[in-house]
Structure formats: structure tokens, C-alpha cells
Amino acid sequence: MQSEILKQIIEKRRSIYPKDYTGAAIPDEVLEEILNSANFAPNHKKTRPWLFKVFRGEEKTVLGQTIAELYKNSTPPQLFVEKKYRDIPDKIAKSNAVVSICVNFSGLLPEWEEIAATAMAVQNMYLTSTAQNVGCYWSSHAVTAQLGKFLNLEENQKCLGLFYMGMI
């Protein structure tokens, strides 16, 4: 029964963190299926507002270093925590793929509608990851909001976090 399978996947879905990823590579076709599932999310006026960029390998390492430096540069010295500075690149290194979750505001709709549609796209990725035995979670670490320049975002675009993925 389709509904029984769907129920199982919905109820099995969990946020799974990089410390629990095996380090094995996510097969390309599996990663593609996860990303493709995002495109089936409902979206008002068909604006398809989600913008995802996949980071793997060296690019992923640079992403980790960039976030760590943004954290350092935007945190007053008395609030700076060395562990947090190291944690970000470490979590990124333990993930096999990291996807930046961004939204493109079309101007045709209230912003919340396009954020909501983007979140629905992320839920599709969570569910497809669950079905494929890929661990994942959405991180909305405050620093990710400062990734605009690194991600070449335009004025009407915003980064809502990162989607970490790894085999479990």
C-alpha cells in the first residue's frame, strides 16, 4: 500500500547529525534523486523559489573554512568559543555533501510564502534521504545568514541554512 509506505517514511524521518555519518560516499544518483525531489514541492504562482547549491570535496572544505571565519569575525572576542569555531568545519568535513538552502524572493508574493515553499522542498529532501538511508539535517546556524557574498546571492535572495548529508 502506497499510504503505508509513505506513513513509514514520514514517521521514520529524523534529523541525523554528522557525528553519526559513516563517511561513505553518497552515490551520485542517490544525491540527484534527493535534490530532484525538492522540485516537487508546492509553490504559489509556480515561482519555484528554492535555490540549492551542492558542496562536495574541496568546495565543501572551503565552505567550512568560510563559515568558521565568518563566525570568528562576527563574534565579539568575549563571546567567541573556540569549540564552536572548530565544530563547523568538523561537521562539514564529516558530511559527504552539504547543500546551501537559499530562497529567491520573486516579489510576486509575501516573503513568507516563498520561505514556506522552500521549507517544503527541504522536507522532500529529508523524506527522500530517509528512504535512501542517507542521514541529513537542516542547520540554521546564525552565521549561515552571512553567506550571501560567498554564495554570490543577489539582493532578493537569502540563505536559510545548510542541509548536511551523509550515509548512515
Ligand X SMILES: Cc1cc2nc3c(=O)[nH]c(=O)nc-3n(C[C@H](O)[C@H](O)[C@H](O)COP(=O)(O)O)c2cc1C
Residues of this chain that bind ligand X (CB under 6 A): 14-15, 137-141, 161
What's the closest the beta carbon of residue 137 comes to ligand X, in angstroms?
5
Q: Which residue's CB is nearer to ligand X, number 48 or number 141?
A: 141
What's the closest the beta carbon of residue 121 comes to ligand X, in angstroms?
12
Q: Which residue's CB is nearer to ligand X, number 85 or number 138?
A: 138
Q: Which residue's CB is nearer to ligand X, number 71 or number 137?
A: 137
Q: Count the Cβ atoms, other than its own, within 10 Å of residue 2.
A: 6
Q: Which residue's CB is nearer to ligand X, number 84 or number 141?
A: 141
What's the closest the beta carbon of residue 118 comes to ligand X, in angstroms?
10
d(CA 139, CA 162): 5
Nearest CA among 108, 104, 92 for reference residue 160:
104
- Dihedral, CA atoms, 26, 13, 41, 147, nearest 10 degrees? -60
d(CA 3, CA 118): 24
d(CA 152, CA 93): 22
Element (H, E) at 120: helix 111-131
What's the closest the beta carbon of residue 17 comes to ligand X, in angstroms?
7
Q: Which residue's CB is nearer to ligand X, number 66 or number 130?
A: 130
d(CA 102, CA 118): 8
144, 74 Cβ separation under 8 angstroms: no
What's the closest the beta carbon of residue 29 comes to ligand X, in angstroms?
25
